[in-house]
Structure 1
Amino acid sequence: MSKSIEEFSWVGSQENFIDHPNLYPIKHVIVGRYGGNSDAGQYKNEDGCLVWLDEKEDWEFTILLDAHNSAESAQIITEQFFYHKNEIKHLLSLPTNHQTFKRIEEKILAIFQSEEFLSVCRNITGETACLIVVRKDKYVWWFSVGDCVLYLFHQELAALGQYQLNQRQFYEWIGQVNTFEQDVPCYSVGIKELRKGENRLFLTTDGLIECPGEPYSNPINIYNAFLNSTDKESIWSMLKNIRRNGVRDSTTIVFWKVTISKEATRASDQEASS
């Protein structure tokens, strides 16, 4: 295995971060965690995340999980992906072309639709939203079940009012209640070309955007939080702010920045950026 690969995984049942915001860097990726306020009634954290990255081969693979009723569903998903990590990392090491993300999607579907995984899900308590995001070369790809959110912050997109990539979907989960047990599983996928220059990828569970007072329900407020401080300072400020606002629900953020040197697609009557 390449020495440039970094791995990190966490589930809230291991450490809950209730009343204690936390930042954890993995190379250029920042994981922000806050378990919620105990004085608002919080007593457990059922979020989870997984981060793999390879700086040499220039990709990141992340999973963000927001479970309820227990953290078991988040735990079994991280375990399944670690079991299949060599196959996934092999796919990520291949040259980027029109088949790249299709192969990754097929592998993820094979994991979630396997009888072994479905059988495990039937015997746990609770279910989880699951957002999987891959950045490779100048593209970001996502696979989303449920209501975790993926934002892409770039000045050209912000000028047009675009911040959010996926649509939150309610009543979708993996676990005891499982979209992959249906006759037709419900999930969404997408691919977005990153713009030339600095791109910020920001994944979050819903504690951040449903915080009392809704300081971050509008994505422009998250975008603006990065304008006048470092990335770490910005994320730390968000976690402290939701703590002050009395948030109960847990929040997990996975963030990283990537600078793209290649030109991005433009309309035929637009000039390329300098």
Structure 2
Amino acid sequence: MNNANKDFSWVGSQENFVDKPSVLQLNHILVGRYGGNSNAGQYKNEDGCSVWFNEKEDWEFIILLDAHNTSESAKKILEQFDNEKSPIKDLLSLPTNHQTFKRLEDKILNLFQSEEFLSVCREVTGETACLIVVRKDKYVWWFSVGDCILYLFHQELAALGQYQLNQRQFYEWIGQVNTFEQEVPCYTVGIRELRQGENRLFLTTDGLIECPNELYLNPIHIYNIFGNLNDDQSNIWSMLSNIKNNDVRDSTTVVSWKVNISKEATRPSNQ
């Protein structure tokens, strides 16, 4: 299924995908969802995600959420960003420079720290990890609360053993328990230059890496899957089928896409 040029938003309470893996193609972006195995005790899905992109302006904007207790906190975050979609897209259309990413960070912080949003969070049951990723031109930027994961796969980085961009942080959420209620909110922001050639961005909730038998705990196994001859959609199907066959209980949501960069990347002065 190919849904081109259409913003996408989903939360697990809408459709839980328990026992039913799904891979959705949104133009050049793939969204894989699996709610977990009912025979392992799973009956609900508290993940969520949102996907926006603009090929002409050369950017993607992804929100990935992994809630617990209920999916209410994930739903409220998606609603909040949907309400702010127009000004956020205006920022994403600006020239690619440090100030643009700084303004985006300020926008997101203002949203999460607004009294309106904080009061909404006080009324929900449960809380969520939240990973926001923007790819613009030859840069990838992220804003992370909690333990969702962002990987960057490129052969030059893989040769040096580098796959993961952000570090998982535990005891960090947005919702009923909320880092933005603290005197000093805890979150992570980062930005990296993409390498020349083919880059793959891969976001996942922790269901994929915490599956029994730890099939994908080491990111080299994810990297190698995309190195085979199958198409990307089949590769994600394969991962979701494998965790299903290993009786995974936790839900898994992945978002993945390729970016080809023609511009030269930074190299050491003696090369």
Per-residue deviation, residues 87-146 of structure 1 (Å, max 9, x unmatched): 000000011112111010000000000000000000010000000000000000000000
Task: Using the TM superposition, give the Cα deviation of residue 232 of structure 1 relative to its aligned residue in structure 2, in angstroms.
Answer: 0.8
Q: Tell me, what secondary structure is at the counterpart of 1:106? A: helix
Q: Find the counterpart in structure 1 of residue 89 from structure 2.
A: 89
With over 3 angstroms needed to count, the CA separation of the structure-2 counterparts of 1:106 and 1:5, relative to structure 1, is farther
Q: TM-score, normalised by structure 2?
A: 0.98
Deviations 1:25-84 (A, max 9, x none): 110000000000000000000000000000111100000000000000000000000000
Residue aligned with 1:132, SS: strand
- Could you tell me which residue of structure 2 aligns to residue 267 of structure 1? 268
**Equivalent position of 1:170 in the other structure:** 170
Residue identity matched to 2:234: E
Q: What secondary structure sits across from 2:67 in the alignment?
A: strand
Matched-pair contact (CA < 8 Å) for 2:154–2:198: yes
Pairing 1:142-181 to 2, within 5 Å after superposition? 142-181=142-181
One-letter identity of the residue aligned with 1:240: S
Equivalent residue, structure 1, for 2:231: 230
Asked if residue 239 in structure 1 is aligned to residue 240 in structure 2, the reply is: yes
SS at match of 2:255: strand
Mapped to 1, the partners of 2:237 and 2:265 lie a distance apart of: 31
Contact 1:6 1:54 in 2 (8 A): no
1:6 CA displacement:
2.7
- SS in structure 2 of the partner of residue 208 of structure 1: coil
Match of 1:25 in 2: 25
CA distance in 2, matches of 1:181, 1:98: 28
Q: Distance between the aligned counterparts of 1:139 and 1:6, measured in 2?
A: 23
Q: AA paired with 1:241?
A: N
- CA-to-partner distance for each residue in 1:236-272, whole Å, 9 max, x for gaps? 10000000000000000000100000000000011xx
Q: Which runs of 4+ in 1 moved over 3 A?
A: none
1:192 aligns with 2:226: no
Does the 8 Å CA contact 1:73/1:127 hold for their aligned counterparts?
Answer: yes
1:235 & 1:195 partners in 2: Cα distance?
23
Alpha-carbon distance between aligned partners in 2 of 1:236 and 1:189, rounded to the nearest angstrom: 30
Q: State the 1:5 CA deviation.
A: 4.6
- TM-score by length of structure 1 reads 0.97
Matches within 5 A, 1:30-49: 30-49=30-49
Question: What corresponds to 1:53 in structure 2?
Answer: 53
SS at structure 2 position matched to 1:10:
strand
Query: What is the match of residue 64 of structure 2?
Result: 64
CA distance in 2, matches of 1:6, 1:262: 28
Assess if the C-alpha contact under 8 Å between 2:35 and 2:44 holds in 1: yes
Cα distance in 1 for partners of 2:269, 2:166 equals 27
Task: Give the Cα separation in 2 of the matches to 1:162 and 1:148.
Answer: 17
- What is the rounded CA distance, in whole Å, between the counterparts of 1:117 and 1:201 in structure 2? 29
The Cα RMSD (Å) is: 0.7
CA distance, structure 1, for counterparts of residue 53 and residue 6 of structure 2: 5
Instruction: Verify the 8 A CA contact 2:141 2:192 in the aligned structure 1.
Output: yes
- Mapped to 1, the partners of 2:91 and 2:160 lie a distance apart of 34
Per the TM alignment, residue 223 of structure 1 is displaced from its structure 2 partner at its CA by 0.2
Structure 1 residues without counterparts, runs of 5 or longer: none
- Where does residue 103 of structure 1 map in the other structure? 103
Equivalent residue number for residue 251 of structure 2: 250
Tell whether the 8 Å contact from 1:130 to 1:146 is kept in structure 2 after alignment.
Answer: yes
In 2: Cα distance, 1:209 partner to 1:19 partner: 18
C-alpha separation in 2, matches of 1:5 and 1:58: 13
| 1:207 alignment counterpart | 207
